[in-house]
């Protein structure tokens, strides 16, 4: 990879100031200004990076709304990436929700209105025959691509070209949390149209104004894109993001053995949730192998979480058949069981045998057991929500759950915040303060009867940047299921709650790079164990982790 000095020799003057990967702004020294034809193009005072950070933080604080703060940070990123990331590293807790969830959702909805300058690559369906040429415009080495088609943006649905805000935000976290150099990342938006009439009818909409392409045409377009990526960037890590559930599983299954790839909605969400559940169980003195787990929601996230937790339970010593009996998945029609005729092949693998429901106080043959029926009869110790619907955990059901377990573990994971299945304060009220809670979006600590309850956020930022770090350090050619199990186990090991039950289930965000190192090393070691990376010692892997991690400095 070219160093900053190498590239600066080729760029001078205004062109250098326009390159956010190279621009130092007022921190260019007097000697650099003379050498690089910058004299007179900058104010005379030479700032240190710390002085620039202080000025940038003051400007950030002056912005009146969260969206305006997001816009300010995006503008700074497009002007000076080193300053952007140094600022974020000093204020991770405050700024991560503004760079990514939940504020990125609003930014995607208003993407056309707040669009300022290009970042990444837009690959639109009318350019089907030009995909290879489009990728050739990227004249640098790329290690990580995040790609979306914009159809299922968080819990907000089809945002079309506005979905580009997700790959941009996601890759910002690869660099912030995992230390992946921003010059080696590429956000990609596959614009296959949108079925969001509000977007199509908006005169300011910047995407392709067409109904979504479906079926064979969609698949052929994705295939052409993958072929072009494999040709241009043969060792790249390709992350799929916010595709509709109907496409997400299918695309992952099709390409996971052809290139180094994963789907964060399915596998990343699953790993962080698995790690947090595992930590919660141990923090209250239990064993993962003894839990009864109810998953409300059978979309890509819910299915991925269930499969990951089954794998984690098996890794904890439980036979597969027994592990599967401990999971109850409920969709909009009720419990998944083997007598339902409306389940696809994937959901059938998560269905309970009806024979296991004998003795339940509901007539399974007459009607599919409801969410409330399952809570009453299965007596879950762990409840996870991935529905996208606010209020999906009603008070009566939570109180019923709390009757049967001393420390109910409850994870309302849907985001943004407005879509959470329940509010943490309500969950504590309904369980008399006994609930162990993690959420999908950030929530402030909750006071209940004199005790402060820290609400952990099951943020995928604990997993996907560390996955990228471990994959790059190991030189992995594929992403295996075992690597995600290893990531979940390593995240569990980082839980503050294991040493202090009153602490958060997940590590503090201001230590996110330390967490990424620990998880990244576990992922790299598992890649070697799974035979998808060349053999080397653990010491060599640890050294590669440090060499791979980029620090924002001039």
Per the residue annotation, which of 85, 100, 174, 218 is the catalytic one?
100
Other CB atoms within 10 A of residue 114 CB: 18
Q: Which residues pair with 411 in a beta bridge?
A: 384
The answer to whether 152 touches 162, Cβ cutoff 8 Å, is no
8 Å CB contact between 174 and 144: yes
Strand residues in 26-110 grouped as ranges (E): none
Q: Of 286, 334, 337, 327, which Cα lies nearest the Cα of 304?
A: 327
Catalytic status, residue 100: yes
- How far apart, in Å, are the Cα atoms of 437 and each of 210, 273, 283, 392, 415? 42, 11, 12, 15, 15
The tokens describing 519, both together, are 């998880």
Give the CA distances from residue 447 to residues 423, 444, 523, in Å, rounded to whole numbers and listed in that order. Answer: 13, 10, 37
Q: How far apart are CA 296 and CA 332, in angstroms?
A: 9
- Backbone angles phi and psi of 487, in degrees to 5: -65, -45
**Contact (CB, 8 A) for 60 and 98:** no
Q: Which helix (H) or strand (E) holds 206?
A: none
Q: Which of these is catalytic: 170, 205, 218, 462?
A: 170
**222, 147 contact by CB (below 8 A):** no
Side-chain half-sphere exposure of 69, counting CA atoms within 13 A:
20
Burial class (CB in 10 A: 0-12, 13-18, 19+), 132: middle
Residue 508: its H or E element: none
Instruction: Tell me the two tokens of residue 440.
Output: 């999908």
Neighbours of 536 (CB within 10 A): 16
Beta-carbon neighbour count of residue 246 at 10 Å? 14
CA distances from 386 to 253, 281, 368, 389, 416 (A): 21, 20, 20, 8, 12
Q: Which of 478, 476, 466 is nearest to 521 (CA)?
A: 466
In 318-397, where do the E strands start and end?
327-331, 334-335, 382-385
Which residues are catalytically annotated? 100, 170
């Amino acid at each position: 990879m070219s160093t900053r000095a190498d590239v600066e020799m080729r760029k001078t003057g205004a062109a250098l100031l326009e390159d956010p990967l190279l621009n130092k702004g007022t921190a260019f020294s007097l000697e650099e200004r003379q050498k690089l034809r910058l004299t007179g193009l900058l104010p005379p005072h030479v700032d240190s990076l710390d002085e620039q950070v202080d000025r940038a933080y003051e400007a950030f604080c002056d912005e009146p709304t969260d969206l305006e703060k997001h816009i300010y940070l995006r503008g700074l990123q497009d002007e000076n990436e080193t300053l952007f990331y140094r600022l974020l590293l000093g204020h991770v807790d405050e700024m991560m929700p503004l760079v990514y969830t939940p504020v990125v959702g609003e930014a995607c909805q208003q993407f056309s209105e707040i669009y300022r300058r290009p970042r990444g690559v837009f690959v639109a369906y009318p350019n089907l025959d030009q995909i290879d040429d489009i990728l050739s415009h990227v004249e640098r080495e790329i290690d990580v691509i995040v790609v979306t088609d914009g159809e299922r943006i968080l819990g907000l649905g089809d945002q079309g070209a506005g979905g580009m805000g997700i790959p941009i935000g996601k890759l910002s976290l690869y660099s912030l949390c995992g230390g992946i150099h921003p010059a080696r990342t590429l956000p990609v938006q596959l614009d296959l149209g949108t079925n969001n009439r509000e977007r199509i009818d908006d005169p300011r909409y910047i995407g392709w104004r067409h109904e979504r392409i479906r079926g064979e045409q969609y698949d052929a377009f994705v295939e052409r894109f993958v072929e072009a990526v494999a040709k241009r960037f043969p060792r790249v890590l390709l992350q799929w993001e916010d595709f509709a559930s109907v496409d997400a599983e299918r695309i992952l299954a099709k390409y996971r053995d052809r290139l180094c790839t994963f789907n964060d909605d399915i596998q990343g969400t699953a790993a962080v949730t698995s790690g947090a559940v595992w930590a919660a169980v141990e923090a209250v003195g239990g064993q993962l192998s003894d839990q009864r787990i109810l998953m409300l929601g059978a979309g890509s996230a819910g299915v991925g979480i269930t499969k990951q937790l089954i794998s984690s339970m098996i890794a904890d010593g439980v036979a597969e058949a027994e592990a599967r009996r401990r999971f109850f998945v409920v969709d909009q029609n009720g419990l998944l069981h083997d007598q339902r005729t409306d389940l696809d092949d994937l959901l059938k693998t998560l269905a309970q045998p009806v024979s296991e429901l004998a003795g339940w106080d509901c007539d399974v043959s007459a009607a599919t057991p409801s969410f409330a029926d399952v809570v009453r009869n299965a007596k879950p110790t762990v409840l996870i929500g991935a529905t996208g619907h606010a209020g999906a955990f009603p008070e009566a059901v939570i109180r019923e759950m709390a009757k049967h377990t001393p420390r109910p573990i409850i994870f309302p994971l849907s985001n943004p915040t407005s879509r959470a299945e329940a509010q943490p304060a309500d969950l504590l009220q309904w369980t008399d303060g006994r609930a162990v809670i993690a959420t999908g979006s950030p929530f402030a600590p909750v006071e209940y009867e004199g005790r402060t309850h820290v609400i952990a956020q099951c943020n995928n930022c604990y997993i996907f940047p560390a996955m990228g770090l471990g994959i790059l350090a190991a030189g992995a050619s594929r992403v295996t299921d075992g690597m995600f199990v290893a990531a979940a186990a390593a995240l569990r090991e980082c839980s503050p709650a294991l040493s202090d039950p009153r602490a958060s289930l997940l590590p503090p965000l201001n230590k996110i790079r330390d967490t990424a190192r620990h998880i990244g090393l576990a992922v790299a070691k598992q890649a070697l164990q799974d035979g998808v990376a060349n053999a080397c010692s653990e010491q060599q892997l640890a050294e590669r982790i440090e060499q791979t991690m980029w620090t924002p400095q001039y």
